[in-house]
């Protein structure tokens, strides 16, 4: 009689959908399975839980098998991410049949799964925001190559966040919806800025003044332009006025840099090379030359390189030719140094 009452209480406990019943032992394997199936139907009603069932002589193995049964149902979550929910699985009921086999029912609450996935997405969004801030600072500092490296993993981070948000909706049965969040918009804007910077990065606005004995005497753009082209850069249309050259060499770069950037140039090469007559000795004329050339990037107006040479000597049979020789020697040294700097930009 006592066994009948105990069995009746167990069935009543199962039908009411209570937590694991005390005295979790039952009759034959078939009877126990039917009891758990009824309880499974109760738990699945209203789509509040994912339910896993398993049976094994070992409680540990039965638990693992039931958890694996739940995991197989999470088809809306990429396989590589399904383990993130396993900490939410719980054993709801165990019954041991007359043969000692453990019959086990495990649950995963849908709402808890959705909240956990949302929390993971928020954490990854915070990490992404930190990454984007670091990349933007690189770009603002004129370090376009470093900013490009910095942003490389961002698309992968965005995809993971989109997967988590989509999975959170699927966990509670909500229909799919394209995810939209501020970090995604910010990443796209930064990628656009980097693309623009990349297009500009191979274009150089050039002006190198030529001055002999204190008087302007044309420019040296042809020689420097050839050196720039050898490094795979293209010369921008337009040029700089003497006033703009003076501003750039004096450190007043903002207005000129903004104009160059708007004209599509990623860099400015600006400078002046001066020659002055020095002396004459037995029909041989000598001159000294000095040069100052700057390489400026236009994203932040940062001076990438300052190249200068002083006391470069030149000699010839006339005063004018001596000055020309000194200038040629200065150009050779400065263009060589400029080519090394351009080759090291890494863009």
What would the pLDDT profile of 136-148 be if each residue is shown by its tens digit? 988 877 777 788 8
Q: Classify strands 215-219 and 203-212 as parallel, antiparallel or unpaired.
A: antiparallel
Predicted local distance difference test score (pLDDT) of residue 7? 39
Query: 201-343 architecture in CATH?
Result: 3-Layer(aba) Sandwich (3.40)
| Structural tokens at position 210 | 């030529």
pLDDT bracket for residue 6 (50, 70, 90): very low
CB 94 within 8 A of CB 62: yes
Predicted local distance difference test score (pLDDT) of residue 11? 41
The number of beta carbons lying within 10 Å of the beta carbon of residue 14 is 22
Predicted local distance difference test score (pLDDT) of residue 320? 85
List % helix, strand, coil for the chain (3-state, nearest 5): 55, 25, 25
* Helix, strand, or coil (residue 91): strand
| Structural tokens at position 98 | 């007359």
Predicted local distance difference test score (pLDDT) of residue 154? 93
For residues 54-70, give the mean pLDDT.
96
pLDDT bracket for residue 26 (50, 70, 90): low
CB 167 within 8 A of CB 312: no
Residue 305 in this model has a pLDDT that exceeds 90: yes
Domain definitions of the chain by residue range: 2-110, 113-199, 201-343
| Structural tokens at position 5 | 């009452």
Count, residues in the chain: 347
For residues 290-294, give the mean pLDDT.
95
For residues 213-224, give the mean pLDDT.
94
For residues 26-52, give the mean pLDDT.
86
Question: Quick one: which of 248, 235, 236 has its CA closest to 301?
Answer: 248
Q: Classify strands 284-297 and 267-281 as parallel, antiparallel or unpaired.
A: antiparallel
Question: Quick one: which of 10, 70, 64 has its CA closest to 35?
Answer: 10
Total-model pTM: 0.58
Predicted local distance difference test score (pLDDT) of residue 202? 82
Predicted local distance difference test score (pLDDT) of residue 79? 87
Residue 168 in this model has a pLDDT that exceeds 70: yes
CA–CA distance from 290 to each of 206, 228, 285 (Å)? 19, 20, 17
Q: Classify strands 267-281 and 203-212 as parallel, antiparallel or unpaired.
A: parallel
pLDDT bracket for residue 24 (50, 70, 90): low
The residue behind tokens 């000692």 is 100
pLDDT bracket for residue 317 (50, 70, 90): low
| Structural tokens at position 134 | 């670091």
CA distance 80 to 92: 26
pLDDT in tens, 93-129: 999 999 999 999 999 999 999 999 999 999 999 999 9
pLDDT in tens, 266-291: 899 999 999 998 887 877 899 999 99
Residue 4 in this model has a pLDDT that exceeds 50: no
């Amino acid at each position: 009689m006592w066994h009948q009452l105990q069995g009746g209480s167990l069935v009543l406990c199962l039908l009411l959908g209570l937590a694991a019943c005390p005295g979790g032992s039952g009759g034959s394997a078939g009877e126990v399975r039917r009891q758990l199936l009824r309880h499974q139907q109760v738990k699945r009603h209203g789509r509040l839980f994912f339910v896993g069932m398993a049976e094994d002589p070992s409680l540990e193995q039965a638990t693992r098998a039931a958890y694996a049964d739940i995991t197989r149902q999470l088809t809306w979550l990429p396989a590589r991410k399904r383990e993130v929910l396993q900490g939410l699985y719980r054993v709801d009921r165990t019954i041991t049949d007359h043969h000692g086999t453990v019959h086990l029912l495990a649950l995963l609450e849908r709402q808890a799964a959705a909240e956990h996935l949302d929390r993971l997405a928020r954490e990854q969004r915070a990490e992404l925001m930190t990454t984007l801030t670091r990349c933007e600072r690189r770009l603002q500092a004129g370090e376009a190559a470093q900013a490009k490296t910095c942003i490389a993993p961002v698309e992968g981070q965005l995809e993971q966040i989109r997967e988590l948000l989509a999975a959170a909706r699927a966990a509670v049965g909500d229909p799919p919806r394209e995810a939209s969040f501020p970090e995604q918009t910010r990443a796209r804007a930064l990628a656009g800025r980097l693309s623009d910077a990349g297009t500009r990065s191979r274009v150089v606005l050039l002006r190198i003044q030529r001055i002999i004995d204190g008087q302007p005497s044309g420019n040296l753009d042809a020689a420097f332009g050839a050196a720039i082209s050898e490094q795979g850069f293209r010369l921008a249309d337009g040029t700089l006025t003497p006033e703009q050259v003076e501003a750039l060499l004096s450190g007043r770069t903002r207005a000129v840099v903004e104009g160059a950037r708007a004209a599509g140039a990623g860099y400015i090469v600006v400078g002046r090379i001066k020659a002055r007559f020095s002396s004459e000795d037995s029909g041989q004329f000598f001159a000294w030359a000095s040069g100052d050339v700057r390489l400026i990037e236009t994203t932040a107006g940062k001076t990438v390189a300052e190249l200068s040479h002083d006391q470069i000597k030149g000699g010839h049979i006339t005063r004018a030719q001596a000055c020309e020789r000194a200038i040629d020697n200065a150009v050779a040294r400065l263009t060589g140094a400029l080519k090394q700097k351009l080759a090291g930009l890494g863009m």
